[in-house]
Amino acid sequence: MPELLLATSNSGKAAEYRWLLRDIGYHIVTLAEQGIKESVEERGNSYEQNAQTKAIAYAQLSGLTTLADDSGLEVDALHGEPGIYSARFAGENASDSDKTQALLTKLAGIPWNKRTARFKCVIAIATAKAPVKLCHGECQGIISLEVSGQGGFGYDPVFYLPQFGKTMAELPSEVKNKISHRARAAKKARQVLQQLKT
């Protein structure tokens, strides 16, 4: 069975990808499992550039088919911020709760109808022999007024989905993994990975 390297050190993200890409005929491994300690800096000005840079670098380091992603939260009232800086929005090494609190603080006083936002995800798949393939996913929501829910990670506890009446962190993982930005990008990535095997 061919191996697929998940180029992330975020355990929550790795767990989601293992679920989203289950049963596609790859043995999924992580950077830690491969003993890869090198970190690849995200210096691009777009999700596409960041995902592609990581996928290519780790494919070269490992010799494996590699999946990397870059994702972020874009808030309309903040002119699309934090965007590609979502992970570093509250400073380097900030916890998830630091990030959500920084976001809520920045949106203090902004009315409900102006708190629209979207999660975006771009997956890059790199191999030694094929050009990099990009897969996009998006999920629309509203930034809630307070943190709610124990599930998920990152900004999930403040990302409210009107159609469910819940934040992303309040959804069962099997529901989140059908409707999230990552799920939508992964659905396209599954097709690319199947083609690479043939």
Helical packing angle, 181-197 and 11-20, nearest 10°: 60
Task: Respond yes or no: is residue 70 known to be catalytic.
Answer: yes
Give the model's pLDDT for residue 6: 97
The three-class DSSP label of residue 194 is: helix
Give the model's pLDDT for residue 135: 98
Give the model's pLDDT for residue 28: 96
Give the model's pLDDT for residue 107: 98
Give the CA distances from residue 117 to residues 82, 152, 161, in Å, rounded to whole numbers and listed in that order. 11, 17, 10
Give the model's pLDDT for residue 34: 94
Amino acid making up residue 101: Q
Give the model's pLDDT for residue 152: 87
Q: Is the overall model pTM greater than 0.75, yes or no?
A: yes
Mean pLDDT of the chain: 94
What are the per-10-residue average pLDDT scores of the chain (198 residues)? 93 91 94 93 92 96 96 97 93 92 97 98 92 97 97 94 97 93 97 89
Give residue-wise pLDDT tens across range 90-125.
998 899 999 999 999 999 999 999 999 999 999 999
Domains assigned to the chain: 3-197 (3.90.950.10)
Give the model's pLDDT for residue 197: 83
Give the model's pLDDT for residue 41: 85
> Residue 60, CB half-sphere, CA atoms under 13 Å: how many?
9
Give residue-wise pLDDT tens across range 29-38.
999 999 999 9
Give the CA distances from residue 33 to residues 37, 40, 62, in Å, rounded to whole numbers and listed in that order. 10, 17, 11
Candidate list 69, 70, 96, 156, residue with the active-site label:
70
Give the model's pLDDT for residue 12: 85
